[in-house]
Amino acid sequence: MKKGIIALAVVLIVLVGFIVFIQNVNLNRIGAEQYYVQINQDGKKIEEKSNSGEKYVSYEYTLEGFDANGKEKRLTFRAFKELRKDAYLRLYVKGDGVSSYQEVQAAELPEGAKRKLETAGK
């Protein structure tokens, strides 16, 4: 009886841990390189339709990104909303594509990327 209760408790703990992991971890960011950009232009509006006829709008950005050491890479990515001008973003890059992004504050930028972004904006 005790072994059954212990086994059930272990299974529940593993299940709850898995659910918490899936809800809090973006799998698109695991193993990705990080580059930093500043939104300094309007995105190119792209309208597409699904097979069911539903209309989708996204905005495409092509910007110069910099890694933590200041290494430059030209990156193209899409957002499902127009991004705020002058915002800093951390882009997660796998291969040649951007898999995810998130807005960051200027204080969160690595020094190499911060220097390059400041000089690129002038």
Confidence of residue 24 (pLDDT cuts 50, 70, 90): low
Identity of the amino acid at 115: R
Cα dihedral 94→105→24→21 (10° resolution): 60
Give how far the C-alpha of residue 17 lies from the chain's centroid of Cα atoms, to the nearest Å.
Answer: 23
pLDDT for the residue numbered 115: 87
Task: Give yes or no for residue 79 having a pLDDT over 70.
Answer: yes
CA distance 44 to 12: 47
Task: Give yes or no for residue 122 having a pLDDT over 60.
Answer: no
CA distance 37 to 79: 14
Phi/psi-derived region of residue 86, left when phi > 0, alpha when psi is between -120 and 50, beta in every other case: left
Q: Give Cα separations from 104 to 36, 45, 86, 91, 111 (angstroms).
A: 9, 23, 11, 10, 14
pTM here is 0.75
